[in-house]
Structure 1
């Protein structure tokens, strides 16, 4: 069982508003980061609150839910970039080539 038609319409409308906001914030990385952080906070709140308390306590029902999740795309997750990997990439781009370093240039 999924969302009702009315719930799906409300969700689609609200997600559309968030997409419009993200478009308005294009070119403003700090503002987009704030938006992503708030979306992640909402995700965690729903996951740790209503979703977790709604999980079935019966093993067979939980197993069926997990099977259903796998068929429909797995666990919901909002990936977020690894800041460290970005910093490593920037450092690699700014570093002189190894030959120049070895030659003392």
Structure 2
């Protein structure tokens, strides 16, 4: 990707990020709505990875080297972490402790 394409992608990504964050803030405190939004983002992540990213992976050593170099310099694979059940239980215990006081 050239410099112009990189700038355009950055601008578009920032615009999308701001929009998603605004939607999330609109539902602040509504765990079911926020969970639904996270599910949409996870599904979108999967769709981009499987349908667009995987087919675009390099098929030459030179291009693969460039991709690996970019990963090393700019960060690894994107990953959407799932919240662990243990974290949910800790939050539940904390809220029960506070409500019993």
Task: Normalising by structure 1, report the TM-score.
Answer: 0.73
| Corresponding position of 1:8 | 10
Q: 1:36 aligns with which of 10, 35, 38?
A: 38
Q: How does 1:62-101 map to 2 (within 5 A)?
A: 62-83=64-85, 85-86=86-87, 89=90
Structure 1 spans left out of the alignment, 5+ residues: 95-105
Greater per-residue helix proportion: 2
Q: Could you say if the C-alpha distance between residues 15 and 91 of structure 1 is closer, same or farther in structure 2, counting changes exceeding 3 Å?
A: closer
Distance 1:20 1:88 in 2: 28
Structure 2 spans left out of the alignment, 5+ residues: 97-101
Task: Normalising by structure 2, report the TM-score.
Answer: 0.75
